[in-house]
Structure 1
Amino acid sequence: MPDHFIIQLIGLENKNIQLLDYSIENHICHIHIQLKRKKHACPSCKTRTDRIKDYRTHTFQHLKVAEKRVYVHYRKRRYACSCGKSFDEKNQGLVARYQRFSTLWHQAALFHSISAPSFTYTAKTFGTTAPKIMRLFDARTEAFSTPPVSLPKVIAIDEFKGDTDKGKFQLIIADPMTRRPIDILENRRAKTIQRYLRERGHQVEMVIMDLSSTFKNAVQQALDKPVIIADSFHFSRYIYWALNKVRVRVQQRFSEKDRKHGKRIQKLLFKRSHKLDTAQKSIIRRYLSLHPDLQTAYTIKEAYQAWFDANKAQERHDVRQSLHDFYQLVQDKQLPEFIKAIGTFRRWETEIINAFIYPHLSNGFVEGINNRTKVIKRTSYGYQNFSRFRAKILAQHFIKDFDISVG
């Protein structure tokens, strides 16, 4: 096998390396190398010299090849200058001084630690210890540990369960335009949100959120008359919850067979009637005939879906008036579950109407980020250190669209 092929195989072909020897023992590859001799500038007097004082062997671990661990034995020259200073030759980024792993190994381990399920998994893959990988991750992800100087004009906020040393719940701030997380706050308390927005939210004009009064009050107190947009999923589900509560209440009088059947067709009840096929419509009609309250609840749900679709399709067409018409319908039907639901709608009416004025803005992408975060936490059996957890989330979303290869 040609010497240059081995050098190319381990990704060091551009380092002016000469192969001295190689061997394979017990699935471990030992490669002995040295750099081509050339003049180097003395770090003290800047005089260029190629006078060799002695040689020293620097052994370090490199990237695996064909699942064989590679150890490089680098025969390093020390040069002697006429000024009396001795110094090591420059190795063009092959390995840093005193390091037991090559530069390419550090790069690959870092990228792997960002995308891998856990630091322990990366450590096993790269033949080292988890603390070593965590130290590498902490040192190289400092950029993600620094909060942004200012936030964009439009932001989305949501909470997720992190269970770190800073609290049970954390808060994510994301950019709806790039659909990426901007920052992670250590908790969801109003004071934390207010302080953060006052420091960095001078440009923020619009905020998308769920129906959290804590978030709403914090944003209103921290920012200058922001436009708050309620996420459509979070206010629509109050109608579906009301329908389901009616189903649970009335089915207590049903036979055991009908009660079990009611649980199975819950998704059909939520589905728009015009999207049901003939068989599904027959099932729904039969089930609704079992109790008038269930029929009434289904009628209200259909009216809500018709209102939602009509206003979502237009830029703005009397959203407030049509919403008040829906309130009146609910009041006329006198189902307590829906009366309670529209109470929430009344408290968030302005924010709900904003969702139709700006139909392209929602928190749906944030839920996707939160799902990815839950996977990160679950596969690593949780994160105690909040700073490391925060950097892991931000770094993983930063590199997810890049095709990264090392070596």
Structure 2
Amino acid sequence: MQFIYLDNNATTQIDPRVLSTMLPFLKENFANPSSTHYFGTTVLEAIISARTQVADLIGADNKEIIFTSNATEAINIALKGVAENYSEKGKHIITVSTEHKAVLDTCKNLETKGYEVTYLPVQKSGLIDLDELKKSLRSDTILVSVMYVNNETGVIQPIKEIASLAHEIGALFMTDATQATGKIPINVDDIGIDLLSLSGHKMYASKGIGALYIRKGINLSAYTHGGGHENGLRSGTLNVPSIVALGKACEVAEQEMKQDAERIISLRNELECELLKIPDTFVNGSTENRIYNVSNICFKGCDASVMIGRMRNVAVSNGSACTSAVIEPSHVLAAMGLSNDNAFTSLRFSLGKFNTEAEIKTAIKTISELTKMMLGYA
């Protein structure tokens, strides 16, 4: 049976070039980068190189990058660090109702500590209304945090405009760029990003590694203590193999992003076009402001969980992998105005650079036959 993986927003297959880069640091180059002997300093050089590769991908300086275990940790460091260090200016934070749970749950935690959080609604398209943002900004707003690319729908928010509005009232701007980094060009200076989180396993590197960009001059409170690693924000021995893997993945992405995008969007469009021929199907979210590898489709009358269970050879998702064990409608689709019935019958297809046209054709055939059977057309 041919296994077809169309759940790349949940995690990606590690690139063979990335794997070969990290393997030596699991074997012969195993020294602690904090050690002062030759073997340690050699590993430290690899860390510095990887930090530069990450920084280059987003147009930053390598001193503005700190390594984390994942994007969730990076988000926690940023949100809690800003909240604590800028509380004298104010305790108001603005985010969006369709953010990843890493942002939403951290904001809920901050609310228990006296911070006020505004959760902006989204339109049917999944986009925020910039006028709503303007109305929500206040003199005591210290941070605006808006996801770059939504993990469930692929909708791209107007990040540059949002950053500009935040800066007009002296607030910082943060973005969870987990689903954007490595897929589309990002330049933190051009856009006006102050804080940015990313994750290795979403861009063909290993699991257990992420990074946080912190613009020079922004001060955050330490997240963990015990050695002063990562500019004093996150103490602990570095995950060297995964760090060099992330660096290599960023280097590959910078070189191959354009050609990957051209090929993947062609496959995504073929998949989407054919699946929308199934009766009572429609795309959730904006199709104009959307990243090229994602299609979130509602199959009215077909339980998404049942479809996933019956497709033994095709891997897709009915929501975020981080909350997929929770039997409730997607908070993203609900915020966009979908009924529970339509949310429960929606599937996310997220393609990656290792997908082939043959796989897409097989997936189309499998899903079309399954929906016909479930809807009683077969």
What TM-score range do you get, normalising by the shorter chain?
under 0.3
Q: What's the TM-score, normalizing by structure 2?
A: 0.26
TM-score calculated relative to the size of structure 1 = 0.25
With CA pairs under 8 Å and 6+ residues apart, which has the higher RCO, 1 or 2?
2
